[in-house]
Structure 1
Amino acid sequence: MQAQAAQLIPQGLAAVAKGRDTISTVEAAHAINRKPQTLRKWASQENGPVKPVRINGRLDWRVIDLARLLNVGG
C-alpha cells in the first residue's frame, strides 16, 4: 500500500519530502505554490483543502494530503 501511495506523490513533492510523512509549512507552501501564510490561515480558520498535523505546537503537513491536492488540481 505504501508503494501505491508513493506513486501518487508528484516528483517535486517527493523531492521536498525526502521520504518523510510530513513536511513543514514553508516546505509545503513551496511544494504547492502558495505562501506559507496561506497555509497558516487554512490551519487557523480550519477551512483549507488540507489540514495540518500539530507536532509540539508546530504545523506539519501530510505529504499524501498535499499529493492528493496537487493531483486533483488544487
Structure 2
Amino acid sequence: MAAKTVQLTPLAQETRTALPTPEAAGHLNRAQQTLRIWACREDGPIRPIRINGRLAWPVAELRRVLGVA
C-alpha cells in the first residue's frame, strides 16, 4: 500500500494558524508518529494544541523551528 502524498503549502504562504499532523510532519520531514510521540511526551521542539481530541501544530511554531520568516 502506497503512502498518501500530502500537498504542502509553503509555510511562508500558509494562512491557517495550525496544521494537522500529516502536514506538519511533511514540513518537518519527520514521520507522523514522531510528532505524536512529541505530543504524548511533551518533549519535542513544538507543542501541539488539541482541538476536539485531535492534534494541531501551530504554524508560528513550525516557522520558528524551521527558521522561516
- Bin the TM-score by the shorter chain: 0.7 to 0.9
Structure 2 gap ranges (5+): 1-8
Asked whether 1:47 is paired with 2:43, we answer yes
Q: Which has the higher helix share?
A: 1
Over 6 Å off, 4+ runs: none
Counterpart mapping for 1:1-74 below 5 A: 12-15=10-13, 17=14, 19-71=15-67
Say how many residue pairs are matched.
Answer: 60
| One-letter code aligned to 1:71 | G
Q: Distance in 2 between matches of 1:22 and 1:40?
A: 15
TM-score, normalised via structure 1 length: 0.74
Q: For residues 14 and 70 of structure 1, what CA distance do their matches in structure 2 show?
A: 11
Structure 1 residues not aligned, in runs of 5+: 1-10
Percent identity at matched positions?
52
**Cα offset, 1:57, TM superposition:** 0.1
Q: What is the distance in 1 between the residues matched to 2:67 and 2:45?
A: 13
